[in-house]
Chains A and B, each alone.
Chain A
């Protein structure tokens, strides 16, 4: 397993090692039920044809505003929810249609860390109880080594071993998030989805938890899909970032030198919305106007067209194709792509 903590920019795929996670054209529609017969009246287009690749040892960030489908994507790739369409390849194996029991051995290899440290821990299980449950289930260590393993795990995430008999409500938010990380790591996974792991925490605690995750990532050679709405955190933590808008990935780019590389008007707007920690550095704000269109009824062309400062006639009609812009970068935008590769040539 490659333990190199950063591969920047994302390397071209080597033919003999398939990406750890290969998602092709993933779609998730949630039916909205109603009416007398409780039939599907409409569909929420949560994830709308997303393709991505995650290599071993890579940390891929997913950013976007709330409701853009980031969390749904995270849960889709580890099969916590069923995709409507598309293909999921995990380590070269198609896992899209595996049943609950067929997935069971794979579950050990991919885990998730949740956003809300308050609802992600069962209030009726002690720390040791919830960790042991997972370790026993997958027979990670022999029974006689169990206690030692749990103690080491608790110590590793920065909690005191004496607290293993305590219940979740006896911990602070940051401590709870550490327990959540310990639970995800208890089965020794290789791939981790971190669904906004720090956005519910105070800034000072955020840094602690992020540092812990970085250490663990380097130590255990983890591959991460890091979901966040905070570009700063992603820039600091990830190798590559996917920018999502209304169920689409609008731009993929390496995290290094993010400001200079960003091309898509939405990515630029997101970067512009980030406060700068220097009072003398005054820049003109590019404020997006309007609202995100309803995912119940997305616009036919580019999803960003209703708010895009560069919107053109073609944007309203056709979805822009995703075009490569140098190593590790790809953008889906008519305005950005056209000068480079004419749309007609595709």
Chain B
């Protein structure tokens, strides 16, 4: 095993690959994405383990807990806030202040009910207000109320200004108002503060969830789909193609018939139909989110094996006539042994290239299907983010679609560079 790795590392293809700087950089990017995906997966696992055994509560370690399925669905701030701390127009800033003041006002207007003391009810309502880690300041209710009334008056004076966007004098007043509003709340510090900045760095979506967390979390979904589909489809295609080419006769007729039939249908239509077939089944159950990706896996594996199948079939057709395969037959090995030991290993380079191509195709198709409402139904993925942002784009809010596209672009580009480099590295006629 170790000598095998050493040999692979020192092989001509590997040396050629390492000389290609772009390819190495692409590989590093992919490794980073993979690491993030694994990280999210293991945090989710730890969380489930902690919840069932009480062994360790991940939520007590904010840095570990920063990326998880739960966090991807958590509200962290105001709705549709832009990222990079870019302040929106004064009008919008004023609306944001009003939203927070209104939230507090709702609590203060509560009356005593039943056996409950009024003040206790208000305190409970205040405790529930949170924008992620931002919470209402921990002060006596009356003091807080007085402070809130003062800020409200400040707000009213500014709100009277007929055209806030064009009034230069309004800006300092607005800044004061924002500071006063912020004083009603406690901003988290230290690690929590850093995490809050991280969460708000790309803004929030329509439910106030962090776009950054969603985009990073979606790496896991993409890699999950990419890996499963690429591995299964490549192996399935390789086995079918190799078997057809090697055994010939009715096996080959069947394989060729199967893939010609499947490939005569448009890919996306077939995918859509296959996914649609699962609607309403066990895999479409909100209570079992871990099954929700299965229809996607199945549909993509059933359509994507065609590419590798064709290519590997062609290669095995060629290899089977080579003299080393005939020599193996002359020794007396069984046909299956010759196929697995002599023919298939010599198509390994093609499998690698096909794997990386299918990986990209799977990720892109997940996005397309999710956008059409056929892919990931609940949870988070780049496709869902893009689907959600169709409404926002009309309103000029590009943060969500931008983030999803950028994260996907980097991964797809890296994989394209990688498969290109693999192709060159394995091509004996390519000099470089």
Where the two chains meet, the residues of A that have a C-beta atom closer than 8 Å to any C-beta of B are 75, 78, 80, 100-101, 103-105, 107-108, 110-112, 114-116, 119-124, 133-134, 137-138, 180, 183-184, 187
Contacts and interface: CB of A to CB of B under 8 A. Distances in A.
B323 A119 contact: yes
A120 B331 CA distance: 13
13 contacts: A80-B329, A100-B334, A101-B334, A103-B332, A108-B332, A112-B327, A119-B323, A121-B324, A122-B324, A122-B328, A133-B341, A183-B331, A184-B327
Contacts of B263: none
Contacts of A104: 332
A120 B342 CA distance: 11
B110 interface: no
Nearest to A169: B12
B340 to A, nearest CB: 12
Chain A to chain B: the 7 pairs with minimum beta-carbon distance, closest first: A107-B332, A120-B323, A114-B323, A122-B324, A104-B332, A134-B331, A119-B322
Given A112-B326, A121-B324, 16 more contacts: A80-B326, A100-B334, A105-B332, A107-B330, A107-B332, A108-B332, A110-B330, A111-B330, A120-B324, A122-B324, A133-B331, A133-B341, A137-B333, A138-B332, A183-B327, A187-B331
Nearest to A116: B323
Interface string B254-267: 00000000000000
Contacts of B341: 133
Contact of A114 (B326, B332, B334, B345): B326
B95 interface: no
B150 to A, nearest CB: 80
Interface residues of B, number: 17
Interface in B332-353: 332-335, 341-342, 345-346
Contacts of B332: 103-105, 107-108, 137-138
A123 B331 contact: no
A138 B328 CA distance: 12
Interface string B298-339: 000000000000000000000000111011111111110000
A78 B330 CA distance: 8
Contact of A107 (B323, B326, B331, B346): B331
A124 B346 contact: yes
Interface string B403-426: 000000000000000000000000
A272 to B, nearest CB: 32
A105 B345 CA distance: 27
Nearest to A105: B332
A82 to B, nearest CB: 12
A114 B333 contact: no
B339 to A, nearest CB: 13
Contacts of B322: 119-120
Contacts of A110: 330
Contacts of B345: 122, 124
